[in-house]
């Protein structure tokens, strides 16, 4: 049974080159958040490394770890020691040549709750994720911590209404989006504000459409990359309520711990007043599983 | 083939009690928008009447008209006379005892393009639409005008990501949302700003997630209702581009004509840079057609 309220915490981090230093720093921040009252915390995507997907390099696969590896053991120990449930993103080694961008979920006694594997994999200049990560095969899942039900989704997933919807239908009170998103230095002046606003808007839109809390934990700081322009990660981590109201938001350039309360009574009150789940036309959505609705246009004579 | 650019227009209207006066006024505004350069225009939901769904009254069904009725004939004539494609919402009489909240689409020569029947029907205090309107049975469809491809959706549909997605997959360049939404007078001070912001956010989120133009045409003004508190329709009609950037927005309390350009080259440029359609996990979305994912919790012993 869900209790009525719980406090969630996001770590907005700047990453160094050293894995151990990032792991220790991230878990120190999680411990501090727990001291401040957080009951479920979320670290940024791939938080133990710089964002290595800025280029394609097979040596980077050395960074991946199996489920039983030292990174997740450290996360479980931190959860147990500080009595805090943790959404812990990591680079998962599943088999030789088969890797995922994943997040493990540990309950507040360090026990294993389950695994999410990033379902939507981007591939854009300096975000060469399709080279590194096989798309997830576990679907969209909510996990029941002792405090409340949360669903991890990862970064590129945040642009997909289907992901937020399915996580909500799984019973999540809050969606967590560990993230690594930023500006290309040459684009920031012209497009930066619109890109950040679109990123906020689409996620706050998921909160509204689903009547669910949404929490995005991004990294921060400029990360250079050999023969590349580098990325300025834009921070701006935030927590929104089920009407999309911002409860907390971080700066675009500093490490921060964000805390906010998930109030399941408020969530139900919002859904009673805006009963979107009641009126879904599940009889009319089956074409969502089509790539595009153009099956009548498959010869060169058809209009474009 | 879609041309590269076309201009769309929204009528933000205040309604009187008289059907003929509203029809004439709405079409006068459409003609004026065409004079100002609009090529596809959209009128507000049920624009020929006050929002009669504030109470349940069988006499209101007298307002409904068949497809061949005088309201749509007047809309078609306006489209032809002014060379403007029109999205014309109306109260559809389909058979005795069977009525829809619909929108007809006419091309710029007055020819019939097709019909949309509101798929998601609300029922909230003072919005008693389930009494009046049978849910639509035509799905989510884009219509090819001579200027570009547009998909009508209606009001409550705007809260549903599935509707925006399916309309986009049908090939729409722009989604039109004729609307009748406002504040309960007793809620406006406390909740009004958050409600309006959520309404904007979820629709701008559809623009971002789908890389599509979104245009919402609302009514404006206070409409009293016998034995009811009445509704203050909040106007704020707007047009957003495929990144959710506001191109035009109306006041919350005045009649206005809004114009903006749909630039299909810009739409494609946005989608090339943020290729969300490329990475949809159509293999993993089939549970979208479930009401809720709780099939493992169907006995009283199961946790809630």
Instruction: Please write the tens of the pLDDT for every residue from A111-147.
Output: 999 999 999 999 999 999 999 999 999 999 999 999 9
Beta bridge partners of residue B89, listed in sequence order = B103
Residue A304's pLDDT band, with cuts at 50, 70 and 90, is low
Q: Is the pLDDT of residue A39 over 70?
A: yes
Q: Which of A173, A209, A283 is most worth mutating to test chain B (most B CB atoms within 10 A of its CB)?
A: A209
Give residue B279's pLDDT. Answer: 98
Torsion sign (Cα): A47, A262, B285, A292: negative
Q: How many angstroms separate the CA of residue A285 from the nearest CA in chain B?
A: 6
| Nearest Cα residue to B10 out of B89, B64, B63 | B89
Give residue A1's pLDDT. Answer: 47
Q: How many angstroms separate the CA of residue A101 from the nearest CA in chain B?
A: 15
Give residue B1's pLDDT. Answer: 47
Per the annotation, the verdict on B155 as an active-site residue is yes
Torsion sign (Cα): B259, B264, B266, B272: positive
> Helix, strand, or coil here: A219?
strand
Q: How many angstroms separate the CA of residue A139 from the nearest CA in chain B?
A: 6
Q: Please name the residues in contact with A152: beta carbons below 8 A apart, sequence gap of 6 or more.
A: A42, A87, A89, A103, A105, A116, A143, A176, A178
**CATH of the domain spanning B5-289:** 3.60.110.10
Residue in A171, A208, A244 nearest the CB of B294: A171
**Alpha-carbon span B83 to A219, nearest angstrom:** 52
CA of B138: which chain A residue's CA is closest?
A284
Residue in B2, B139, B202 nearest the CB of A208: B202
What's the rounded mean pLDDT across residues A156-170?
98
Q: φ, ψ for residue A238 (rounded to 5)?
A: -155, 165
Tell me the ipTM for this assembly: 0.96
Size of interface A-B (CB pairs under 8 A): 173
Give residue A226's pLDDT. Answer: 87
Give the containing element (helix H, strand E) for B209.
helix B188-210
**Cβ atoms within 10 Å of A206's Cβ, excluding its own:** 30
**Cβ atoms within 10 Å of B108's Cβ, excluding its own:** 18
Q: Kindly state the greatest CA–CA separation across chain B.
A: 67
pLDDT tens for A175-202 read: 999 999 999 999 999 999 999 999 999 9
Which residue's entry shows tokens 């008289």?
A: B18
pLDDT tens for A48-60 read: 999 999 999 999 9
CB contact under 8 A, B161 and A204: no
Per the annotation, the verdict on B118 as an active-site residue is yes
Alpha carbon distance, N-terminus to C-terminus of chain A? 52
Residue in B201, B285, B293 nearest the CB of A288: B285
Domain chopping of chain B, boundaries: 5-289
Output the tens digit of pLDDT for each of chain B's 304 residues.
445 899 999 999 999 999 999 999 999 999 999 999 999 999 999 999 999 999 999 999 999 999 999 999 999 999 999 999 999 999 999 999 999 999 999 999 999 999 999 999 999 999 999 999 999 999 999 999 999 999 999 999 999 999 999 999 999 999 999 999 999 999 999 999 999 999 999 999 999 999 999 999 999 999 999 888 999 999 999 999 999 999 999 999 999 999 999 999 999 999 999 999 999 999 999 999 999 999 887 788 776 5
**Alpha-carbon span B13 to B105, nearest angstrom:** 19
Contacts of B285 in chain A (CB under 8 A): 162, 166, 288-289
**Alpha-carbon span A64 to A50, nearest angstrom:** 13
| Nearest Cα residue to A179 out of A106, A108, A231, A134 | A231
CB contact under 8 A, B202 and A198: no
Q: What is the pTM of this model?
A: 0.97
């Amino acid at each position: 049974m869900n209790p009525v309220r719980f406090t969630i915490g996001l770590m907005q981090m700047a990453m160094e080159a050293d894995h151990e230093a990032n792991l220790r720093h991230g878990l120190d921040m999680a411990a501090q958040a727990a001291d401040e009252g957080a009951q479920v915390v979320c670290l940024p995507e791939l938080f133990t490394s710089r964002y290595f997907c800025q280029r394609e390099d097979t040596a980077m696969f050395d960074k991946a770890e199996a489920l039983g590896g030292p990174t997740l053991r450290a996360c479980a120990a931190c959860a147990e020691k500080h009595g805090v449930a943790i959404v812990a993103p990591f680079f998962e080694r599943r088999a030789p040549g088969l890797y995922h961008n994943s997040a493990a979920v540990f309950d507040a006694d360090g026990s294993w709750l389950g695994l999410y594997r990033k379902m939507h994999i981007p591939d854009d200049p300096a975000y060469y994720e399709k080279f590194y990560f096989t798309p997830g095969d576990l679907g969209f899942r909510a996990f029941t911590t002792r405090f409340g039900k949360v669903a991890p989704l990862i970064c590129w997933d945040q642009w997909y209404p289907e992901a937020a919807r399915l996580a909500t239908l799984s019973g999540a009170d809050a969606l967590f989006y560990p993230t690594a998103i930023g500006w290309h230095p040459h684009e920031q002046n012209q497009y930066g504000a619109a890109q950040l606003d679109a990123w906020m808007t689409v996620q706050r839109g998921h909160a509204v459409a689903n009547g669910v809390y949404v929490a995005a934990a991004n990294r921060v700081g400029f990360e250079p990359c050999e023969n590349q322009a580098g990325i300025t990660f834009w921070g701006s981590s935030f927590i929104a309520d089920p009407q999309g109201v911002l409860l907390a938001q971080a700066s675009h350039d500093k490490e921060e711990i964000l805390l906010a309360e998930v109030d399941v009574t408020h969530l139900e009150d919002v859904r009673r007043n805006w009963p979107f789940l009641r009126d879904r036309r599940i009889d009319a959505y089956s074409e969502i599983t089509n790539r595009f609705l153009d099956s009548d246009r498959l010869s060169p004579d058809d209009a474009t």
